[in-house]
Structure 1
Amino acid sequence: MSLLDAVSNSTSGLSAQSFALNTISGNIANSSTAGFKSTDTHFADLLAETGPSPQQAGGVSLSTRSSLQLQGTIASTDVATNLAISGDGYFIVKPNTGSANAPSFGGETGYTRRGDFAPDANGYLVNGAGYYLFAGPSASTPVQVSTGSASPTSLTVSPTGALTVSNADGSTKSLGTMTLAQFDGAENLAPLDGGTYLATDASGAPSYGFSGSSIATGSIEQSNANISDQFAKMIETQQAYSANTKVLNAANEMLQDALTMYV
């Protein structure tokens, strides 16, 4: 390996480890965010290639993957409108592309496990990331649990998805039936923001139903980012970053010495 190869490889390593550190920092920062799915960074050595665009061996490539299949712990919150999915599936959500006084929901359909829903000023259920809950793919407006200043005292979801809200005066109201989105290739969903994902060609189009899953009310699914695991990964990544820094510094010193010899 030449000195220039050492510089190139260590620079590639520094870039990759820096990216990994940013990913780990994001996991740690969201360890208390409802429904958050941690992201892992995967490294692969670059091998030599021949052809029209030859590539020398050395360096590293990276890719990321969200742990969408790993469910977080379901915790009770005592908030009537909080919802948590036990099993597979995603809530169907959309952003408000209008205003608070004149809401509009013509944006892209998203899918999320973040169920910290609460009624907005119009009584529509919206989660902490600002995405509104829709009962199904054909629904034109979000789930509305109240009108005016009234707040529901409880919200129940039957095994078949029937939504019922109870009010402070003891009355109950049916809100229709909700469903969940299911994906054969859920690991290939594209991250949007706030724990929301978009369907891709690789994930496939969603099917709808519970498929053995259930919804717990008054609860949320906690983040699946384990703090101790993330800090262990951070220490390992920092050590790898430091090792690449030493290689780069050593190669730089040797290059300076070589240049000095010819001056």
Structure 2
Amino acid sequence: MGIFGAMTTAISGLTSQSFALENISGNIANSRTTGFKRVDTSFADLVPDMPPRRELSGSVGAFSRNTTTVQGDIAASQIGTNMAITGEGFFAVRQRTGDAGGQPVFSGASLYTRRGDFEVDRNGYLVNGTGNYLMGYQVDPTTGAITGSQLNVIRIPSSNLAARASTTIEYEANLPKYPLTANANASTPGSELLTPANDLAAVPAAQETNFLNETIAGQSVTVYDAAGSPINVQMRWGKTSNAAPETWSMFYLSDSNAVGPATKWTRISNTVQFNAAGQLTSPATGVINTPFTVDGVTTGAINLTFGTTGLTQFADPNGQLNPNRITQDGYPTGTLQDINVADGGRIMGSYSNGQTVPLAQVAIAEFPAANLLKRNDGGIFEQTLESGQPLINSGGDGIIGASLENSNADIADEFSKMIVTQQAYSANTRVVTTAQSMLQDVINIIR
């Protein structure tokens, strides 16, 4: 081998260092590319088969080493549909291959990326900056449960959120032990009570004044029927007994336009009871199931839920109902206003009716040997035999919404590697120059 071997070895060094410089150049060029994973260079010695004590150090070969498992910095984003993965894993995506009937057609093979700059396109699909479409699972907006096990390209529905009829009113409040009604007089025992003459299942409009003078306001709540029509339910309370157990009756305004003998207020219950400690004893379940008919519009059966501790009767100098929480579970129809990604990869839709509901679940793909995936353009990785099969799961804590993963290439580190590479390249050129000089000396001997 001799001088010629030294020259060919030096040339392999030049080739390897050039390969390393090309990787460094690509890393620096993509130092600001979202989700980019730098490519490092590994060197391996290539030793010829020689007898003992005649071994040569050999030439060198350069190989790429992926860093797909090395996390880039996570930066906040002002776009709600942007997302980043912490830890291992990839977004599953598909590429668009064409159009049919104005809708995109996707390739059959799934690809994988860490680039999470997804935004909603005009068709409702989530597509990132390199044109790849996000995959995941559809979610039932009512229950929040994932529907089906098949991974599909996520499409955000543009339809209105269906109205939901109210089924429960959660009513938590304190009724005063001594209600300060209009008729209440501390010097007249029982003047604060609702008299039997006004404690009727149906209070006529002609009797309303007396009824109002013997009851206190019970707040109001807006409920919804199956079509999403709002129904305002105004309630009042009247205490009917101070003897143990102390008893109250509850009413609601059923016809605001009623006159004369027509029913204006309807009794919900006349058996709401409390013990001496002010704790609710009846209804024992803390629930009254009843429909409401207000101005001719009737709801379905609604559970008026006090709970076992939500409704109390403690002394209150104000003498009025003190509400703690009065809510219901219905809502009218609404149009989609905004989309964002909650932590865990749940895609949420905000609607004009004030509801925020889950629309889809982003999936994460993990590989046994992620660094052995094949790199493609646009931050895309492709499954290989060496990488193993992907394990698909829902995002869990691995996805952060309104965030992006930056490139894991550090410019300062790449410049350091570039200096070392340049020095190694220059040293190899010196070997070639020296070998050439030695060959010239040999030629001069012959002359």
Q: TM-score, normalised by structure 2?
A: 0.52
CA apart distance, 1:261: 4.3
Alignment match, 2:106: 105
Change (3 A) 1:213 1:14: farther
Alignment match, 2:170: none
User: Identity of paired residues, percent?
Assistant: 43
- Rounded Cα–Cα distance in structure 2 between residues aligned with 1:252 and 1:213: 62
Alignment match, 1:156: 341
Change (3 A) 1:258 1:147: farther
Change (3 A) 1:153 1:252: farther
Aligned residues: 257
Structure number with the bigger relative contact order (C-alpha 8 A, sep ≥ 6) is 1
Alignment match, 2:324: none
Residue by residue over 1:180-227, the C-alpha shift from the partner in whole angstroms, topping out at 9 and shown as x without a partner, is 111122222221222211122222101122586421111101111111
Counting helix residues as a fraction of each chain, which structure ranks higher? 1
Task: Tell me the secondary structure at the aligned position of residue 98 of structure 2.
Answer: coil
Alignment match, 1:4: 4
Alignment match, 2:350: 166
Residue by residue over 1:92-135, the C-alpha shift from the partner in whole angstroms, topping out at 9 and shown as x without a partner, is 01111115944211253111111011223323111112211111
Q: What 5-or-longer segments of structure 1 have no aligned partner?
A: none
Change (3 A) 1:147 1:238: farther
- Rounded Cα–Cα distance in structure 1 between residues aligned with 2:412 and 2:386: 32
Change (3 A) 1:124 1:228: same
- Rounded Cα–Cα distance in structure 1 between residues aligned with 2:392 and 2:72: 22
| RMSD, matched Cα | 2.9
Change (3 A) 1:253 1:196: same
Change (3 A) 1:257 1:144: same
Task: Tell me the secondary structure at the aligned position of residue 378 of structure 2.
Answer: coil
Q: Is the 8 A contact 1:89 1:183 kept in 2?
A: yes
Alignment match, 2:43: 43
Alignment match, 2:154: 143
- Rounded Cα–Cα distance in structure 2 between residues aligned with 1:202 and 1:154: 38
- Rounded Cα–Cα distance in structure 1 between residues aligned with 2:392 and 2:386: 18
1:89 aligned partner, one-letter code? G
Q: What 5-or-longer segments of structure 2 have no aligned partner?
A: 138-148, 160-334
Q: Is the 8 A contact 2:47 2:57 kept in 1?
A: yes
Structure of greater Rg:
2
Alignment match, 2:255: none
Q: TM-score, normalised by structure 1?
A: 0.86
CA apart distance, 1:44: 1.5
Task: Tell me the secondary structure at the aligned position of residue 65 of structure 1.
Answer: strand
Q: Is the 8 A contact 1:45 1:61 kept in 2?
A: yes
Residue by residue over 1:51-92, the C-alpha shift from the partner in whole angstroms, topping out at 9 and shown as x without a partner, is xxxx97511022211112211111101111111012221100
Q: Is the 8 A contact 2:82 2:341 kept in 1?
A: no
Change (3 A) 1:3 1:144: same
